[in-house]
Amino acid sequence: MPMEMQTYRDGRKAADDAAEAIRTALAGLGLPESVWNSVRPMVTHSGKPYVHLGMMRADDAERIAEAIRQVFK
């Protein structure tokens, strides 16, 4: 059963907003554009919003993990 266009639009908006928030945060950590440029908004067939982070170097992933750990200290 096809989803309604408004369901897709709502999901896409949520995914776009979340992806942009992640890109901004990664850029704020000083990570190169090659890391945050691969962040993509996605919408499932049912309209659920997701963000695909893509592949990144292990050292960049460690920097992200360290920033997250600092938030929860």
3-class secondary-structure state, position 10: helix
Structural domains counted in the chain: 1
Mean of the pLDDT values across residues 1-28? 94
pLDDT given for residue 3 in this prediction = 77
Dihedral in degrees, nearest 10, Cα atoms 38, 49, 12, 57: 0
Which residues form the domain of 39?
5-71
Mean pLDDT of 14-39: 95
Q: Is the dihedral of CA 71, 22, 10, 44 positive or negative?
A: negative
Give the pTM.
0.87
